[in-house]
Amino acid sequence: MTQYLLALHNIAGEAVEPMSDEEMKHSWAQVSALNEELQSSGAWVFGGALHGPDTATVVKVSDGEVMTTDGPFAESKEHLGGFYVIEAEDLDAALAWASKATAAVGKPIEVRPFRDGRGA
């Protein structure tokens, strides 16, 4: 088994058409159904949705000193909106979960293997 990160990407400025209450409810129901399925199948490791990049803080070492700065690490239109960490047999199994996730949230999902997986 390998662990995979399923990263949900938001694109700033795109699709800001606010969801109707109806759509919101529908999406929320789909996400909860997916979470339940992930948990009952044993694939679930961890997951959650993040606050926006305007709530981010970056900490780094510069000249031996720890610096704290406001804002996200990279100035970019895309940012991480949320993620799952799952356990799957192989990439096809991970992609099958990612397909369900993208259908539920309507956002592209990036799938990446963890280095520590026993398979890699």
Partner 1 sequence: MREPGTASKLEAAEIGRIFREESGRSVAALIRAFGDIDLAEDSVQEAFALALRRWPSDGLPPNPGGWITTTARNRAIDRLRREARRRELQSETAVLSPDDHDLDVPEEVGRMEDDRLRLIFTCCHPALSTEAQVALTLRLLGGLSTEEVARAFLVTEPAMAQRLARAKRKIKAARIPYRVPEAHELPARLRPVLAVVYLVYNAGLTSVSEPGLCSEAIRLARILTTLMPDEPEVAGLLALLLLTESRRASRTRPDGSLVLLGEQDRRRWDRALIDEGQTIVRRCLRRNQPGAYQLQAAINAVHADAASIQQTDWSQIVALYDQLLTCAPTPVVALNRAVAIGEVHGAAAALALVEELQLSDYHPFHATRADLLRRLGRESEAAVAYERAAAMAPTEAERDFLRLGGRASR
Confirm or reject binding of residue 110 to partner 1 (CB under 8 A): no
Structure tokens that stand for 77 in this block: 């239109």
Contacting residue, 54, 70, 115, 116, with partner 1 by CB under 8 A: 115
> Total binding residues for partner 1 by CB under 8 A?
15
Measured CA to CA in angstroms, residue 112 lies from 13, 23, 40, 105 at distances of: 25, 29, 22, 18
Strand partners, 111: 6
Strand partners, 2: 88
Site for partner 1 in 4-23 (CB under 8 A): 4
The stretch among 14-22, 25-33, 72-80, 109-117 that binds partner 1 (CB under 8 A) is 109-117
The stretch among 23-31, 41-49, 72-80, 108-116 that binds partner 1 (CB under 8 A) is 108-116
x/- mask, partner 1, residues 55-94, rule CB under 8 A, reads ----------------------------------xxxx-x
Q: Concatenate the DSSP letters of all residues of 33-78 into one string.
A: HHHHHHHHHT-EEEEEE---GGG-EEEEEETTEEEEEES-SS--SE
Contacting residue, 78, 79, 95, 108, with partner 1 by CB under 8 A: 95
Cβ distance 85 to 117 under 8 Å?
A: no
